[in-house]
Amino acid sequence: MNVIEIKNLVKIYNSGEVKVKAVNGITTHFEQGEFTAVVGPSGSGKTTFLNMIGGLDRPTEGEVIIDGSNIWNLTSRQIIDFRMNNIGFVFQAYNLIPVLTAGENVEFIMHLQGKPKKEREQRTKELLEAVGIGDRIKSRPGKLSGGQQQRVAVARALASKPKFILADEPTANLDSVATTGLLELMAEMNKKYNTTFIFATHDQRVMDKARRIITIEDGKILNDEKFDR
Amino acid sequence: MKDNLKIAWRNLWRNSRRTLITAASVFFGVFFAVFMSSLQVGSFKNMVDNMVRFYSGYIQIQGEGFRENRSLNQSFVAGKSLDSLVHLQKAVTQTTQRIESFTLASFGNNSSPAMIFGIQPEKEEAISGVSKWLSAGTFLQPGSKDILLGKQLAENLGVSVGDTAALIGQGYHGLSAAGIYKVAGLLDFPLPELNRRIVYMNLATCQDFFSMPDRITSYVIMIDEVGHLKKTVASIRPSLNNELRIYSWEDLQPQLVNLIEGKLAAGKFIKGLLFMIIGFGVWATVIMMMYERKRELGVMIALGFQKTRIFIMLVIEAMLIGLIGVIAGIVVSYPLVRYLFYNPVHVTGKMAETYRSMGFEPLIAFGKDTGVFLMPALTIFIIFTIIAFYQMWFVARLKTVDALHI
Ligand SMILES: Nc1ncnc2c1ncn2[C@@H]1O[C@H](COP(=O)(O)OP(=O)(O)OP(=O)(O)O)[C@@H](O)[C@H]1O
Ligand SMILES: [Mg+2]
């Protein structure tokens, strides 16, 4: 089943006189339960691509069709709500609200969604335990290591029961032990909840785990391979 | 809302030093403004009270044109109906009748122009407490035909208590007025001009002197509080016959009104400047609080926070700083101002002389009207409201993508 369908996606940035074609006509689709890495050299358009899928950056042309309709036909308020209910994000950094504890960070998304308190608390506990830091539920992000923070971010991304999770270089700030740990965690979550994961990455270790690798260069898909892992 | 408050509150203490410094600047502004306003309100009230008691009363009824010409021809008879009209007003506490005019006082070869006041001694005393300036002799007795002189006037004439001085002037409708009167006492006023000029006598004696039986020039009215002034004037005015005019102290002492208004304007200017400096300080803090969190806020929007929610959170953060400052400012200034209201500072030495020479009690009085506290609090609120518009602009411009590009 297709989760996301992408049609001829183009993004042109006007930086001064020069027009930068960050994404230059990408057409593809993602299916339920994919574990996909988007790779390519720096500046190839990975982040731009993910941001357009995630409703963060408006395409110059093309469509991002989720559940049969183009998300870019929504109003900006609707897009925010759409993101909240359908997409989980894991960014490279600044993922967590620093004044909220790990538990509150996870719970808050469900709070925004209007889930009842009991369900929120139970799911928060379950998710933090699943990502391996159940004992740090009351810690603020500043008291957690980079790896632990990213684990909370994954738990939070899963909390809203999204259709898919977008992760832009989630391991870029982590050492190799933390990277391996986080990758294993995401692979496990992918299996456990059958949630679609799409990464942008430079990291060979991430690529080694991916079951599909989309290679982008100059804003175009150069290669799209599937692996049985 | 509870969550917004929780997040905002915690955000405040991420940089507690900055928050405290900013709140402290608000506190200082509120405290200073309250103190200054209280001092102004108190001293103006004191000033007005003194001036009103001594000179004009809160309200006067005069013949038409007397205020401008001060001619005895514009005198009038204050009949029973006027009395009952005035005393019908709830706010009226005391009244007294006067003749105010000019004359020439002489003794031996000396003479001097003088201001003559025909007064009702008991009633006048109850209002202005004029006898406290008595420096020699006795105060006017009811029915007595004696006079009181300003101390300097007596010295200039070379007259002392018990002597008889002559008064010469022009009476009602140009009749000549002349008489000799025994000096019963001397008054030592703080104001040199009064000291040099004043002659007091019983109203009846004065009416005789000017050949104007039953007539007066001024009907002086005191009321319980300034707040009732306008209403009282307004309710007497329509019932007066058309030869009479009613004035409030502001009409009668425009120089005092000017003085107060000038000082109030200066005070407003200083407070305005202060609040402007504080406003810019707060603004700078708010700018820092928002810009250093641009990424974090971008992430929050990416996660599903609507911009309105981010805006509300940021406004609450800023407002909390203001609230802490305002509450602290009022909590500290209220007891102080209240204490000073009940225990005004008594001025001594040279300062006291200056006060007295201007006709004021040597007191630094304070006010504790609601406005004294309300105005600074309101000003701070307005400042934060303006800042909230800036915050709105900031949030409206926030782009998640820019915020996320590292
Ligand atoms: N907001 C922007 N304004 C102008 N140009 C931009 C903007 N964002 C990205 N670009 C340009 O678009 C191109 C693609 O950028 P993008 O960030 O998508 O690359 P990337 O593949 O994610 O790179 P990296 O691996 O370094 O993260 C680059 O040339 C970049 O300079
Ligand atoms: Mg990138």
User: Does residue A52 sit within a domain?
Assistant: yes
User: Does residue A118 sit within a domain?
Assistant: no
State how far the Cα of A187 lies from the Cα of A169, in Å rounded to an integer: 15
Range B212-247 burial, b when 16+ CB lie within 10 A, else e? beebbbbbbbbbeeeeebeebbeebeeeeeeebbbb
Query: Tell me, what's the pLDDT at A184?
Result: 87
- CA of B8, closest CA in chain A: separation in Å? 9
Quick: pLDDT tens for B67-125: 999 999 999 999 899 999 999 999 999 999 999 999 999 999 999 999 999 999 999 99
Q: Name the pLDDT band for B66 (thresholds 50, 70, 90).
A: very high
Determine which residue's CA is closest to atom 30 belonging to ligand 1.
A43
State how far the Cα of A7 lies from the Cα of A202, in Å rounded to an integer: 25
- CA of A158, closest CA in chain B: separation in Å? 12
Q: Does B406 score more than 60 pLDDT?
A: no
Which of B14, B306, B406 comes nearest A80 by C-beta?
Answer: B306
Query: Tell me, what's the pLDDT at B286?
Result: 93
Q: A98 vs B14: CB contact, 8 Å cut-off?
A: yes
- CA of B298, closest CA in chain A: separation in Å? 9
Q: Which residue in A63, A6, A55, A7 sits closest to A34, CA to CA?
A: A6
Contacts B10 to A, Cβ<8 Å: 99-100
Residues of chain B above pLDDT 90, percent: 70
Phi, psi (deg, nearest 5) at residue B302: -60, -35
Interface of B with A (CB under 8 A): 3, 7, 10-11, 14, 295-296, 299-307, 400-401, 404-406
Query: Tell me, what's the pLDDT at B403?
Result: 66
Q: A81 vs B302: CB contact, 8 Å cut-off?
A: no
Residue type, B230: K
User: Does residue A100 sit within a domain?
Assistant: no
Residues of chain B above pLDDT 70, percent: 99
Q: What's the N-to-C CA distance of chain A in angstroms?
A: 20
> What CATH number does the domain containing A65 carry?
3.40.50.300
Which of B299, B301, B401 comes nearest A51 by C-beta?
Answer: B401
CA–centroid distance, residue A48 to ligand 2 (Å): 7
Determine which residue's CA is closest to atom 8 belonging to ligand 1.
A48
Quote the distance between the C-alpha of residue B103 and its chain's center.
Answer: 33
Q: Name the pLDDT band for B363 (thresholds 50, 70, 90).
A: confident
Query: Tell me, what's the pLDDT at A177?
Result: 86
Query: Tell me, what's the pLDDT at B404?
Result: 67
Q: Name the pLDDT band for B218 (thresholds 50, 70, 90).
A: very high
State how far the Cα of B313 lies from the Cα of A38, in Å rounded to an integer: 36
Query: Tell me, what's the pLDDT at A15?
Result: 80
Q: Beta strands A69-70 and A61-66: pairing type?
A: antiparallel
Query: Tell me, what's the pLDDT at B55?
Result: 84
User: Does residue A126 sit within a domain?
Assistant: no
Q: How many domains does chain A have?
A: 1
- CA of B294, closest CA in chain A: separation in Å? 10
pTM score of the predicted model? 0.81
Contacts A77 to B, Cβ<8 Å: 306
CA–centroid distance, residue A21 to ligand 1 (Å): 9
Which of B7, B295, B303 comes nearest A99 by C-beta?
Answer: B7
State how far the Cα of B79 lies from the Cα of B99, in Å rounded to an integer: 15
State how far the Cα of A64 lies from the Cα of A55, in Å rounded to an integer: 9
Nearest CA in chain A to B292: A94
User: Does residue A83 sit within a domain?
Assistant: yes
User: Does residue A124 sit within a domain?
Assistant: no
Q: What rounded mean pLDDT belongs to chain B?
A: 91
User: Does residue A193 sit within a domain?
Assistant: yes
Query: Tell me, what's the pLDDT at A193?
Result: 85
Q: A97 vs B296: CB contact, 8 Å cut-off?
A: yes
- CA of A228, closest CA in chain B: separation in Å? 32
Q: Name the pLDDT band for B193 (thresholds 50, 70, 90).
A: confident
Contact of A37 with A165, CB cutoff 8 Å: no
What number is the ipTM of this complex?
A: 0.89
Contact of B343 with B42, CB cutoff 8 Å: no
A171/B contact by beta carbon, under 8 A: no
CA–centroid distance, residue A43 to ligand 1 (Å): 5
Contacts A57 to B, Cβ<8 Å: 400-401
Query: Tell me, what's the pLDDT at A1?
Result: 65
Contact of A121 with A107, CB cutoff 8 Å: yes
Q: Which residue in A58, A3, A56 sits closest to A28, CA to CA?
A: A3
**Angle between the A76-86 and B294-303 helix axes, to the nearest 10 degrees?**
70
Query: Tell me, what's the pLDDT at B62?
Result: 95
Q: What rounded mean pLDDT belongs to chain A?
A: 91
Residues in Cβ contact with B364 at an 8 Å cutoff, skipping those fewer than 6 apart? B39, B42, B43, B340, B344, B345, B347
Q: Does B152 score more than 90 pLDDT?
A: yes
A117/B contact by beta carbon, under 8 A: no
| 3-state DSSP of A146-215 | HHHHHHHHHHHHHHCCCCEEEEECCCCCCCHHHHHHHHHHHHHHHHHHCCEEEEEECCHHHHHHCCEEEE
Q: A98 vs B296: CB contact, 8 Å cut-off?
A: yes
Residue type, B63: G
Query: Tell me, what's the pLDDT at A171?
Result: 87
Determine which residue's CA is closest to atom 16 belonging to ligand 1.
A45
Contact of A213 with A228, CB cutoff 8 Å: no
A74/B contact by beta carbon, under 8 A: no
Contact of A123 with A110, CB cutoff 8 Å: yes
In chain B, where the domains are located = 2-51+257-404, 65-241
Q: Which token pair is B371?
A: 């406005």
User: Does residue A121 sit within a domain?
Assistant: no
Ligand 2 (ion): which residues have CB within 5 A?
A 47
Q: What separation in angstroms does the CA of B283 have from each of A73, A176, B163, B225, B386?
A: 37, 44, 74, 42, 9
Quick: pLDDT tens for A131-180: 888 899 999 999 999 889 989 999 999 898 898 999 998 888 888 888 88
Q: What separation in angstroms does the CA of A190 have from each of A28, A35, A193, A195, B369?
A: 21, 7, 6, 5, 68
Query: Which residues 174-193 of chain A have a CB within 8 Å of chain B?
Result: none
Residue B135: strand, helix, or coil: strand
Q: Which token pair is B20?
A: 């405290």
Q: With a cut of 50, list the residues of chain A below it in pLDDT.
A: none
Q: For B108-261, list the strands marked E by DSSP.
A: 110-119, 134-137, 147-150, 164-170, 176-187, 198-202, 215-216, 218-223, 244-248
Residues in Cβ contact with B285 at an 8 Å cutoff, skipping those fewer than 6 apart? B18, B19, B21, B22, B321
- Residue span of the structural domain in which A154 resides: 2-95+146-226
Q: Does B405 score more than 70 pLDDT?
A: no
Quick: pLDDT tens for B227-281: 899 999 999 999 998 899 999 999 998 988 999 999 999 999 999 999 999 999 9
Closest atom of ligand 1 relative to the A46 alpha carbon: 21
Q: Does B46 score more than 90 pLDDT?
A: no
